[in-house]
Structure 1
């Protein structure tokens, strides 16, 4: 679409509302009307009516009197998206079995608008485990899930995913050593890497594949060594359990869920 056509179909009020939702999604503790206006480089008066409507429709709530914060309504709408629900419905029983067998937590991740997003999470069955909230958007370039989602895509799709990410991420994604890493992951079928976020954690990630071999999701175990659990599987056995689980999930999801649906 040309710039002229884009201007012709502009919807300023809609853009303003989406700007507010996207801004509030990235902050904790909410923002005042003045803070929202400052961050969006607008006059505070421009947002009064829009904030009022968002509050009345249940997308935004007031906290501490004068601060605005997102509600869970958008999250609820996302969970009603049929393909994601179907994928999660296939995955949850297998993720529960994996957690019991490995004694570790695990999470299911898909790519959405520039970032991997956690769509399902299974807690570890014991006292200790690393978990991440469902709905969290994580890094494409320094997580096992992100690596797997990139590795098991075509070159064209990989470039599109990288382009949807940040400018800094785009540079990192095109680096020769990073592309070589993706080739290695694809050839061996999994990623195993120290967590870039938490010391002592090893991310073990494997792809859920569609019928054509494209990754529709990544299943990741943030592996921690359980010193007081002598019967806990070691890292090699856990990696085997993950691979077995993703093969089973690929058979279930690949036949009933196309990559275009996710």
Structure 2
């Protein structure tokens, strides 16, 4: 899927102070090792005096912190906890864990649950495979929706207006054009009911994802297994597919959802 760079959309109602704070949070989200005041200022093209008060406020509110004797700030888990406390996400994550644990033990692969938020896929929860070695996507990860099985599974089953809005948000964040064959690919997913493809990122992984539906038949999440091909242990994708299909339907029922009409 070819993608081209586009200019970010012009903002109708600029809010400089808020945008500065959000820029800082988003920067820290990409830097698990932490950043000093000077690092933040340099990365954002600002002076230290411009970002000092912002960092102080974020630290006082518990969004970032410093270890004793370390001049680097790091994100705390406050944002992640807030996301999990959001009622729909909290209910979905709590209902999903037991189902995901059964899936992981039955197919001996890890699995994860992702939702679409602000033009990005956020991994809400994850369960490890009971065997080693295994591959997993950690909870709290941010994933490109146009470059992941989870994102595709969700996008394929969104109402047209919601999908257009999500993709517009993605374009504005990524500064890229949509993949040329995206609509064709999403139509294929709708026809077969799931996404299955070789991983965009890791060799030897086949990503399989089924949508989780709300009461209107729209996707609210994607339940995904990154299937790791182990030497001497041929993988029966048909069996994995059936287990994940059943799990996605069970989870849909648990949250009061229904599959869309054919």
TM-score between both structures, scaled by the size of structure 1 = 0.86
2: CA distance, partners of 1:169 / 1:194: 25
1:148 matches 2:150: no
Q: Report the CA distance between 1:13 and its aligned residue.
A: 4.2
1:90-132 alpha-carbon deviations (Å, 9 max, x no partner): 1111111111111111001110011111101011111222111
8 Å Cα contact 1:141-1:169 kept in structure 2: no
Structure 1: gaps (5+ residues): 257-262
Among 155, 180, 193, the alignment partner of 2:197 is 193
2:247 corresponds to 1:245:
yes
Pairing 1:24–2:40 present = no
TM (norm. structure 2) is 0.86
Please list, as runs of the form range in 1=range in 2, the aligned pairs for 1:12-161 lying within 5 A after superposition.
12-63=16-67, 65-161=70-166
- Indicate the residue corresponding to 1:172 in structure 2: 178
The structure whose residues are more often helix, as a share, is: 1
Distance in 1 (CA, whole Å) between partners of 2:146 and 2:245 is 21
Deviations 1:232-254 (A, max 9, x none): x6111000110011111111113
Instruction: List runs of 5+ in structure 2 lacking aligned partners.
Output: 1-10
Instruction: Check conservation: 1:204, 1:239, Cα contact below 8 A.
Output: yes
Within 2, Cα distance between the matches of 1:15 and 1:115?
Answer: 18
The alpha-carbon deviation at position 171 of structure 1 amounts to 2.2
* Structure 2 residue 168 is the aligned partner of structure 1 residue 163: yes
Alignment correspondent of 2:209: 205
Q: Which has the higher contact order (CA 8 A, sep 6+)?
A: 2
2:28 and 2:135 map into 1 onto residues whose CA distance is 26
Aligned length: 247
1:17-65 deviations in Å (ceiling 9; x for gaps): 3332222112232222122122222221122233223223322122563
- Aligned mates of 1:41, 1:158 — CA distance in 2: 33
Helix, strand or coil: the match of 1:39? Answer: helix
